[in-house]
Amino acid sequence: MDLARNLGDHTGELFQAQAHIWNHIFNFINSMSVKCATQLGIPDVIHKHGQPMTLDQLIDALPIKNAKAPFVYRLMQILIHSGFFIEAKIPGNENDNQKGYLLTSASELLLKSNPFSMTPFLLAMLDPTLTDPWQNLSQWFQNSDETPFYTCHGRSIYAFASHEPWLNQFFNEAMASDTRLVSSVVTKDCKHVFESLNSLVDVGGGTGTFAKAIADAFPRLKCTVLDLPHVVDGLESSKNLAYVGGNMFEAIPPADAVLMKWILIDWSDDECVQILKKCKEAFPSKEKGGKVIIVDMFCKSLQKGDDDHETIETQLFFDMEVMVLLKGRQRNEKDWAKLFTEAGFSDYKITAVLGLRSIIEVYYY
């Protein structure tokens, strides 16, 4: 078929397709614009101003060269379009149409003073170390490397982090920033998950943000953080919180329950079964029972045909991200159930209280 000769009435459709391709070619501009605004401290500057902030006021407050002042407007335009800022009338100027910038709920999550700030996570995920592997994606499909990250850097992300202290710290700060919001919700609204426990191990718990929150909320609960030695080295234990350096594929300290937040999404199905079996070995006995508490993505929307485009797209983004950086994947309920059965667990319960993520309690009895 000669496409050039058969335009006919399809020119509108072709131009629409062209615009669709352009949109995807330049979609990275959304991410990089948010990163730029965060690095310049734009959300913090507007927040500190306390009312709608004019463009001139914003320019004067930013740490930029005078010659770059005319370009701030263009940056703000794309950020308004993508929902990070809004324009509102300035109080006291009813007869003036002048407007100023205000934060949205999204940019509020990028404030340095926000206890649930996502800034560390944003800066980590958009660091060239983690974005460069995407340039090797097609090459990876044609070679034998385990991940595009390996193709790009010549070693796994874990090996890379263990030899690069700055990346290890970057990654730990990113995970901790994400955990603060999750832990505040879980310890407040999901107390039943922990109330009957005497001991708990947070596997892959990093610097212990989640475990600290649980230990504070349940003073009688003995909490342990298990992570690689270079992650927990130098961290100090407290009254009911201890740190252990180790490898979850080799052994997990004994406990009534094992907690894993955003761990299994990073690993293949076979590796997840291995990890879950190690969790089972940590329980005192089958007669006394035990459970694994998983905080992870649960593809409910994909499974039930939810038409929330952004939700589905975000889940697909995460699925691709763990494919490129790690060896993991997204899972729906059928996928999770298969892992639990193969690892020898008896039952599970899913509680959807964390947006795109859920709490999955997996029982062994």
Task: Tell me: pLDDT of 303 over 90.
Answer: no
Token pair in block for residue 206: 């990093």
For residues 52 and 102, the answer to whether their CB atoms sit within 8 Å is: yes
52's CB contacts (< 8 A; 6+ apart) are 87, 88, 89, 90, 91, 99, 100, 101, 102
Question: Rounded CA gap, 20 and 34, in Å?
Answer: 22
In DSSP terms, 103 is beta-bridged to 85
> In the listed set 88, 109, 130, which residue is the last one of a domain according to the structure?
109
Judge if 295 and 251 occupy the same domain: yes
Q: What is the mean pLDDT of residues 87-103?
A: 86
Residue 44 lies in a domain: yes
Judge if 168 and 41 occupy the same domain: no
Dump pLDDT digits (tens) for 203-242: 999 999 999 999 999 999 999 999 999 899 999 999 999 9
- Supply the pLDDT for residue 65: 97
Dump pLDDT digits (tens) for 152-196: 999 999 999 888 988 888 888 999 999 999 999 999 999 999 999
Judge if 139 and 174 occupy the same domain: yes
pLDDT band with cut points at 50, 70 and 90 for residue 287: confident
Question: Rounded CA gap, 63 and 2, in Å?
Answer: 55
Residue 136 lies in a domain: yes
> In the listed set 92, 109, 126, which residue is the last one of a domain according to the structure?
109
- Supply the pLDDT for residue 289: 80
Question: Rounded CA gap, 165 and 231, in Å?
Answer: 9
Q: Specify the number of domains making up the chain.
A: 2
What percentage of the chain has pLDDT greater than the value 70?
95
Token pair in block for residue 317: 């983004």
For residues 223 and 239, the answer to whether their CB atoms sit within 8 Å is: no
Question: Rounded CA gap, 201 and 192, in Å?
Answer: 17
pLDDT band with cut points at 50, 70 and 90 for residue 136: very high
- Supply the pLDDT for residue 169: 87
Outline where DSSP puts E strands in 154-198. Answer: none
Residue 4 lies in a domain: no
318's CB contacts (< 8 A; 6+ apart) are 265, 297, 330, 356
> In the listed set 109, 131, 166, which residue is the last one of a domain according to the structure?
109
- Supply the pLDDT for residue 34: 98
Domain of 33 in residue numbering reads as: 9-109
Task: Tell me: pLDDT of 7 over 70.
Answer: no
Question: Rounded CA gap, 252 and 44, in Å?
Answer: 42
pTM to 2 decimals?
Answer: 0.89
- Supply the pLDDT for residue 54: 96
Residue 23 sits in a domain of what CATH number?
1.10.10.10
